[in-house]
Chain A
Amino acid sequence: MNILLDPTGEREAVERPRLGRPNSLDGLTVGILDISKSRGDIFLERVATLLEGRGIAIKRYCKPTAGRTAPKQIEQAIVEEVDVVVEGLAD
């Protein structure tokens, strides 16, 4: 019987189910996360304007660069301050 050594990090990531989508945005705060992708700001600002037009509270966040993961402070602020997040991933 051959025995091999595991080349992986040997850690199983915990899979967490996504939160259910809210039926309504009434009374919720929506985070707008600009990850600094080209023209993402244009798309997201339009979304924010439309939501604000419906009286929905908006909070804006911006990653310094799309090439790195979000700074912990931004992740933490989003977790604490908003109920829903909209971000633009592609160019």
Chain B
Amino acid sequence: MQEHGLVAIVKRDCPTCVLVAPVLQEILQRSDLKIYTQDDPGFPEGIEGVVDDTSLDASYRLGVEIVPTLVRFENGVEVDRTFGWDREAWEKIVGSDDLGRNLPAFKPGCGALNQEPDHLAELRIRHGDTPMTSRLVSLGAREDDIEACFERGWTDGLPVVPPTQERVLAMLEGTTREANEVLGLMPSNLDTCTVEKIAINAVMAGCRPEYLSVVLTAVEAVMDEDFCLHGVLATTRFVSPVVIVNGPIAEQIGMNGKGNALGQGNRANATIGRAVQLAVRNIGGGKPQGVDRATLGNPGKLSYCFCEDEQGSAWEPLTVDRGLPAGTNAVTVFAGYGLQGITDDKARSPEELVQTFATSLLAVENIHMFPGPDCLLVICPEHERTLMQGGWDKTCLHSEIMSRMQVPANGVMRGAHGMAVGVEPRMAGKIVSKLVPDGLLIVRAGGGAGKFSGIIAGWTPGSRELSRPVTKEIKT
């Protein structure tokens, strides 16, 4: 709507607006003035023709930030504006030199209702002033929105938060990246994956906006060619993306790397991992019984995300092992199976404990699988302490484990232990290795009590042609 002459925007809940109500009467006696009222159509009292703007549409259109606001238009174009009560400025706009003589010369105004976050989001959506371009799905009046998400095949089997425009707009506030930025092509459909699409799936997963930068980075990591997401989906093995978060951001957004780090109960851990999985499902088309051909899968396919307990550990974090400076906010994705626990409450020396770690690693997949897959070793605090007290740092542990991964082929050959599976007979007399040289990642996480570490075995049996862990710095 084109405005002409003087326009004022007020609300009753603003003491300054109440203060200037008589001034508005003064102006009306000498010129045209259109008054929009934001909260009470009966305010200001005694003035005919006040325009009800409780919808806030006019205020939004006029870009009002403070009430009262006084604007002058000429031929539909704004030529002057002031806000709050500033006699000099009001007199200049009105063209008068005697306004509100019984009022103080200046009194600041109040925040306009249309700027309040809830109203602003609603107004932006109503006026089509959002960066979102995804298809709008209108539900029937009697259709339950959570059930509607199930019926459209958008969920992982659990209810999702319905991705309304308001929620997605709020989620996008969690990043400075443009909603239409293309992150890549999501396997296996190779559909375009944008910041907006990830924000929608993050809403559905239950994320808070401050998690979004982590989710975006994790999604970029799984789409990296090295990760081989198509294969991770299509394989009949157990594998799913494991998301490990490093850096101060983990604590800032409330992630858990301590007790039950791989379990339930922490919103950030649970929903970041879930958002990645939902994006893979909804954008990439990776659905069970479809492209996802897993025989058994693993519970981590709902969500598999934790952070390294950097504050509680004396070791360098995973980021340093992956070539980034300590303290970098980063996400590492690893194509992993479910957790294989390592229990050892008797070892009192690193030499004893590493034997338990090594023999457990040698059993991954089956005891004859050489080479086995890359492995992620999650060391608990009590085990770290045993190692540290014996003078072993992480580099030493890594080296000692790797030296124990070499075994004579004859003991793990087809036919040994009555097993049909195993190393080929042509390897007789040779030494075989369970892990390839860079096939072991080590992180520190877990609660302060308990001598229970864990192995997350990977998918790739030591082959560089398949999935490799990918680490990416988080852009905040």
Q: What's the minimum C-beta distance from A24 to chain B, rounded to whole angstroms? A: 33
Q: What's the minimum C-beta distance from B357 to chain A, rounded to whole angstroms? A: 27
Binds B, one of A8-16, A25-33, A43-51: A8-16
Do A69 and B154 touch across chains, with their CB atoms under 8 A apart? Answer: no
| Count of chain B residues near A, Cβ 8 A | 43
The main secondary structure of chain A at its interface with chain B is loop
Residue B311, interface by CB 8 Å: no
Contact with A along B132-168 (1 / 0, CB 8 A): 1011111111010100110000100000001111001
Task: Tell me the bound Cα distance from A65 to B136 in angstroms.
Answer: 40
Given A67-B228, A67-B460, CB of A7 within 8 Å of CB of B467 = no
How many A residues touch the partner, as a band? 10 to 19
Q: What's the minimum C-beta distance from B210 to chain A, rounded to whole angstroms? A: 20
Task: Tell me the bound Cα distance from A42 to B283 in angstroms.
Answer: 38
Do B465 and A7 touch across chains, with their CB atoms under 8 A apart? Answer: no
Do B282 and A8 touch across chains, with their CB atoms under 8 A apart? Answer: yes
Do B283 and A8 touch across chains, with their CB atoms under 8 A apart? Answer: yes
Interface residues of B in 185-202 (CB under 8 A from A): 186, 189, 191-193, 196-197, 200-201
Given A3-B136, A7-B282, A9-B197, CB of A65 within 8 Å of CB of B204 = no
Task: Tell me the bound Cα distance from A64 to B463 in angstroms.
Answer: 11
Task: Tell me the bound Cα distance from A8 to B137 in angstroms.
Answer: 11
Do B465 and A68 touch across chains, with their CB atoms under 8 A apart? Answer: yes
Residues of B within 8 A of A19 (CB): none
Task: Tell me the bound Cα distance from A8 to B231 in angstroms.
Answer: 20
Task: Tell me the bound Cα distance from A9 to B231 in angstroms.
Answer: 20
Residues of A within 8 A of B360 (CB): none
Residues of A within 8 A of B139 (CB): 1-4
Which of B148, B154, B231 interacts with A7 by CB under 8 Å? B154
Residue of A nearest to B191 (CB): A9
Do B186 and A10 touch across chains, with their CB atoms under 8 A apart? Answer: no
Q: What's the minimum C-beta distance from A20 to chain B, rounded to whole angstroms? A: 25
Do A2 and B145 touch across chains, with their CB atoms under 8 A apart? Answer: yes
Do B466 and A5 touch across chains, with their CB atoms under 8 A apart? Answer: no
Residues of A within 8 A of B204 (CB): 7
Contact with A along B310-354 (1 / 0, CB 8 A): 000000000000000000000000000000000000000000000
Do A5 and B132 touch across chains, with their CB atoms under 8 A apart? Answer: yes
Do A65 and B465 touch across chains, with their CB atoms under 8 A apart? Answer: yes
Binding site for B on A (CB under 8 A): 1-11, 13, 64-65, 67-69
Binding site for A on B (CB under 8 A): 132, 134-141, 143, 145, 148-149, 154, 162-165, 168, 186, 189, 191-193, 196-197, 200-201, 204, 228, 230-231, 235, 278, 282-285, 460, 463, 465-467
Chain A to chain B contacts (Cβ below 8 Å), 15 pairs: A1-B140, A3-B137, A3-B164, A4-B163, A4-B164, A5-B168, A5-B196, A6-B134, A7-B163, A9-B189, A9-B197, A10-B135, A64-B465, A67-B465, A68-B228
> 19 new A-B pairs (CB below 8 Å) besides A9-B193, A67-B463?
A1-B140, A1-B141, A2-B139, A3-B139, A4-B139, A4-B145, A4-B148, A4-B149, A5-B134, A5-B200, A6-B135, A7-B163, A7-B278, A9-B189, A64-B465, A65-B231, A65-B463, A67-B228, A67-B231
